[in-house]
Structure 1
Amino acid sequence: MDIVVLAGGLSSERDVSFKSGEMVAKALRAKGHRALVLDVFMGYSDKECDITDIFEHSEENSVKIETIPSEAPDIKAIIASRPDQSPSFFGPNVIKICQKADIVFMALHGGDGESGKVQAALDLYGVKYTGNDYVSSAIAMDKNMTKEFFKRAGVPVPEGKSLKKADRKDFVFESFPCIVKPNCGGSSIGVTIVESAAELDAALDAAFEWEDEVVVEQFIKGREFSDGVIEGKALPVIEIAPKQGFYDYKNKYAAGSAVETCPAEISEKATQAMQDYAEKAFKALGLTTYARMDFMMDADENIYCLEANTLPGMTPTSLLPQEAAVTGINFEDLCEYLIQVSLKKYN
């Protein structure tokens, strides 16, 4: 198959997306496919290569990244560096190249790539892609809306409030410690644990730097877990234990910053409960292909579902691939499997 691995974009997870894209493309090439890593925002100029034969040399024509930087990308600088300065989110020839592919593997994280907007555009252009449809993607991207869907499905969530930038002046929150985070962000960028009312303003400033709506919710002290779901069936639970602090951007992507254990070393009762909640959450959001749910569990084994990731990280050491590996599915087979699962929505 000729496959576009769509990555990059303009989210705070741009660099992470490139690493996912690079590893997915490598895995798909090992399975005999011609996979091209394409930056959805920068696109591909006709001056670089005749796109008629772009898949003939897909590896040479792919975007490449050495490592994930320790700091989130400067989005304004990236926008300013685009040669054509078009107002379109899609870079030159992106749609044309996607239309030439048999399927687009969505390696985008956060922003427009995970919010359903890119999926909706690809639908209009008749392009097949991996992952969920635009409606369920849009719901899952909104943390506040996601929590409402979870509550209706009987999935426990932390108590909290949503706050828009325009309403900040009248905002009151009296339960501390709490956690402040952008409503649609990922990779823990803009997230702050707040111990007292005196720290709240600075935390709101940090979150509002990324978007105009934030979530302020109770901080759950305990252990952090994640559980992937493919076609409605939960994978083994994985525990994430940062060596210092919490599971922020640095601890997620700096080698050796966290200990990840799969299957998680918790009671059978807690494991079953978390997997049940993951499957309920998946169904509640209308997801059909694959996703990953993040959880916290306190000392009394009370479980709280934090959010859903509809395009989870895809490197061999990312959480979803680690969970799949425990069931006997290696990374190359997983990438192939996710394509086959995603193609079912077109049958």
Structure 2
Amino acid sequence: MNIIVLAGGNSTEREVSIASGQGVCKALRERNHKAVLLDPYFGASQKEENLFPTEYDVDKAADAMREMSSKLEETMKTRKGFFGPNVLEICKEADIVFLALHGANGEDGKVQSVLDLMGIKYTGSGPLSSGMAMDKGITKMVFEAKGVPTPKGITLEKGKCSSQFADYGMGFPVIVKPCCGGSSVGVCIANNQTEYQAALLEAFSYENEVVVEQFITGREFSVAVVDGKAYPVIEIAPLQGFYDYKNKYQAGSCVETCPADLSSALTKEMQKYAEMGYKALNLQAYARLDFLMDDEGNMYCLEANTLPGMTPTSLIPQEAKAIGMDYPQLCEKLIEVSLKKYQ
């Protein structure tokens, strides 16, 4: 197949996205697909005659993307639109676009909307479910309505909320996070009023809406759901603190165990809730749902990631490996289940 791997973009997760795209592109080429990288934000200065060459240096293309990152801030000051030159024209030539984007303008349904309007096939969920899953406040409301256990919490709007935590009838500690952020950027734990006010300032520096929810002390897990079916549970145990940006992307900062050391009953229960959350948000193709479990065995679904990290050592590839599927096979599988949307 001729495949465009969209990676980079202009979100706070640009560098992670490039790493995902680099891994996916290499893996698909190992499976004899003609996959090429494309940055949707910076685009291509010209549309090559041979868009899908047999010989292609993935690492060189990824490094060129990383070099453009230094121009991102300046470009965003002057650019009005998202898509760079020739992006959509190139995507139209592909059999499918593999979305290796993360965060805003990629995982939130906006790119998906444009691709739908252009009749371009792509991996993952559609615009509406992507947008709902990206918004942690909406996700929480949907989970509560559909019986998916989730921590007690509220959504606050900048300039329209009280800075006094006592006004909301919750107890410390709480976790404060931007509604639509990813990779735990801007996420803080607050143990008292002073920390709460500082956490609000931090979260509101990223977005105008934040979620404040009860902080659950316990073990952290993640479950991939592919084509509606849960994969093995993976446990993430940070050596220090919680699963924040540093622990997600700094090698050696977490111990990841797959399958997780859980009883068969607890494993099945968490997989059931993952599938319920996937269905509640009307997700398609694949997603990853994150969980906490307290000392009493109570489970809480925190959020759904519609375009989760896809480096070879990311969580979903580890779960796939536990059922005998290697990384290139997984990348192919995600394309296969995504194409079902178009049948």
- TM-score, normalised on structure 2? 0.94
* 1:90 equivalent in alignment to 2:83: yes
Mapped partners of 1:204, 1:57: distance in 2: 51
Query: Does residue 144 in structure 1 map to residue 142 in structure 2?
Result: no
1:304 Cα deviation from its structure 2 partner: 0.2
Contact 2:2 2:95 in 1 (8 A): yes
Is 1:12 the counterpart of 2:6? The answer is no
Change beyond 3 A, Cα 1:224–1:289: same
* Alignment correspondent of 1:115: 108
Partners of 2:236 and 2:337 in 1: how far apart? 27
Answer yes or no: is 1:80 the counterpart of 2:74. Answer: yes
CA 1:123–1:216 in structure 2 vs 1: closer, same or farther (change >3 Å)?
same
Matched, 1:125 2:118: yes
Counterpart AA for 1:215: V
* Shift in CA distance, 224/156, structure 1 to aligned 2, threshold 3 Å: same
Are 2:163 and 2:197, in contact at CA under 8 Å, matched by a contact in 1? Answer: no
Taking the aligned partners of 2:341 and 2:311, their CA distance within structure 1 comes to: 24
* Cα pair 2:149 2:300 within 8 Å, conserved: yes
Equivalent pairs: percent with the same residue?
56
Instruction: Specify the alignment match of 1:163 in structure 2.
Output: 156
* Structure-1-length-normalised TM-score: 0.93
Q: Distance in 2 between matches of 1:180 and 1:66?
A: 36
Change (3 A) 1:211 1:65: farther
Cα distance in 2, alignment partners of residues 260 and 283 from structure 1: 26
Question: Shift of residue 74 of structure 1?
Answer: 8.5
**Counterparts in 2 of 1:148-227, with a 5 A limit?**
148-169=141-162, 172=165, 173=168, 174-227=170-223
Could you tell me which residue of structure 1 aligns to residue 51 of structure 2?
54
Partner residue of 2:342?
A: 346
Deviation at 1:55, TM superposition (A): 1.8
Q: Is 2:95 the partner of 1:102?
A: yes
Residue 289 of structure 2 corresponds to residue 296 of structure 1: no
User: Gaps spanning 5+ residues in structure 1: where?
Assistant: none
SS class of match (2:41): coil
| Alpha-carbon distance in 2 for matches of 1:45, 1:113 | 21
- Write the deviation string for residues 99-132 of structure 1: whole angstroms up to 9, x where unpaired: 1111100000110201111001001111100001
Could you tell me which of 258, 269, 272 is aligned with 1:262? 258
SS at match of 1:341: helix
CA distance in 1: counterparts of 2:116 and 2:127, whole angstroms: 9
Deviation of 1:85 (Å): 4.4
Deviations 1:1-43 (A, max 9, x none): 1111001112111110000000000000001111111111111
Structure 2 residue 204 is the aligned partner of structure 1 residue 239: no
